Amino acid sequence: MTWSTRQLAELAGTTLKTVRHYHQLGLLEEPERAPNGYKRYDVRHLVRLMRIRRLADLGVPLCDIPTVAAADARSTEVLRALDAELAANIERQQHMRRQLAAVLEDRASLDLPVDFGAAATTLPQAQQDLLVAYSSVLTPAAMSLIRDQYARPRDEVAEGFEQLPADAPEDVRRRLAAHLAAEVRAQRAGHTFITDLDAASRRNETLTRSVVTQALITFYNEAQLDVLRHLHALLEQEEADGGADGDSRRGGKGEQDHSGNPDPHRVTPGATG
C-alpha cells in the first residue's frame, strides 16, 4: 500500500506545497514512481515527514533539521541555542504585553516609555512630540526626572507656557520667563546633572544637540522660544550678580546662538513641566 503526495501531506497534517519544498531542500527523499509516473510514498516517507514537521514546529530552522534529526554531537548545541532564542522571544513578548497593558489599563501614551503612564496624555500634542524626541537621546535617569515633573499637577505657569500663542506680547513673554526662572533654579539645585545636556545624554554630543535643537524649533512657536531666551538671560544675569551658583551657565532652558536658534547645550529638558 502506497500513498500519493496529496495523501502523504494529509496524513502528516501539512500541504502539497510543503512536501514539494522539503523535496527541493533535500530533507525528504524522492519516492519511487508508479508506471503512470505518480509518486508512491510508503511509511518510511511518512515517518520522515512527521519528524521534519515535529522539529519545524519546535522552531528548528530547516537548515538544521538534518543535524538534529541525526542526533549527532552538534544537535544538542543547536537545540540549546534554539531554547535561548525562544527564552529571549518570550521575554520580549512579555515586555510587549506589559506595554500594552499600560496603554489599555492605565491610559499610558503609545509613543512614550510606559513608566510615563497617563501623565503625558493630557499634554498638548506638540509637548508629547517633544518628549518623544527627547527619549531618543536622553538617559533613562533624565527621562525619569522629566516623567516626575509631568506627573505633578501643572501650575498656571506651565499651562501658560504650553498655551502661549505665537503672537504673545513681549511683557507676557518676560513675565513667563521670570516665573520659570524660579522653577529652573529649584530643579537645578536638586538635580544638577539634568542641567548639563551632555551628562543627561546617551548619544554623542553632536547628535544629541541636533535632536534637541530641531525638537525645540519644531514643536515650540516663536513666542515660546523667546521665553526660553529670556529665561536664560535672567539666569545668566543672576550669575553675573552673584546670585546663582557657578553651574548656571548650563541651567537655562535655552540660549540663542548665532543662527537665532536655542543653544541645545544650555537646554534643560522638561523645565516647563
With b meaning 16 or more CB within 10 Å and e meaning fewer, what string describes 12-40?
Answer: bebeeebbeebeeeebbeebeeeeeeebe
246: left (phi over 0), alpha (psi -120 to 50) or beta: alpha
Report whether pLDDT(121) > 50.
Answer: yes
What is the tens place of the pLDDT at every residue in 203-238? 998 999 999 999 999 999 999 999 999 998 998 888
With b meaning 16 or more CB within 10 Å and e meaning fewer, what string describes 155-191?
Answer: eebbebbbebeeebeeeebbebbebbbebbbebbeeb
Nearest 5°: the CA angle 80, 25, 37 is 140
The whole-number pLDDT of residue 197 equals: 77
Mean confidence (pLDDT) of the chain: 82
pLDDT tier at 266, thresholds 50, 70, 90: very low
Three state DSSP letters for 82-143 = HHHHHHHHHHHHHHHHHHHHHHHHHCCCCCCCHHHCCCCCCCCHHHHHHHHHHHCCECHHHH
The whole-number pLDDT of residue 106 equals: 67
Share of the chain above pLDDT 70, in %: 82
CA distance 79 to 68: 8
Burial of 119 by CB count in 10 Å (0-12 exposed, 13-18 middle, 19+ buried)?
Answer: buried
Report whether pLDDT(251) > 70.
Answer: no
The whole-number pLDDT of residue 73 equals: 77
Report whether pLDDT(192) > 80.
Answer: no
Contacts of 35 (CB under 8 A, 6+ apart): none
Written as nine digits, the cell of 103 is 496603554
pLDDT tier at 108, thresholds 50, 70, 90: low
The whole-number pLDDT of residue 172 equals: 94
The whole-number pLDDT of residue 190 equals: 62
What is the tens place of the pLDDT at every residue in 5-27? 999 999 999 999 999 999 999 99
The whole-number pLDDT of residue 198 equals: 79
The whole-number pLDDT of residue 267 equals: 43
pLDDT tier at 252, thresholds 50, 70, 90: very low
pLDDT tier at 141, thresholds 50, 70, 90: confident
User: For the ranges 148-157, 181-190, 218-227, 250-259, which has the lowest average pLDDT?
Assistant: 250-259
Contacts of 192 (CB under 8 A, 6+ apart): 247
Report whether pLDDT(256) > 80.
Answer: no
pLDDT tier at 149, thresholds 50, 70, 90: confident
What would the mean pLDDT of 95-108 be, rounded to a whole number? Answer: 79
What is the tens place of the pLDDT at every residue in 22-58? 999 999 999 999 988 899 999 999 999 999 999 999 9
Cα of 180 vs its chain's centroid, Å? 30
The whole-number pLDDT of residue 195 equals: 59
Which pTM does this prediction carry? Answer: 0.59
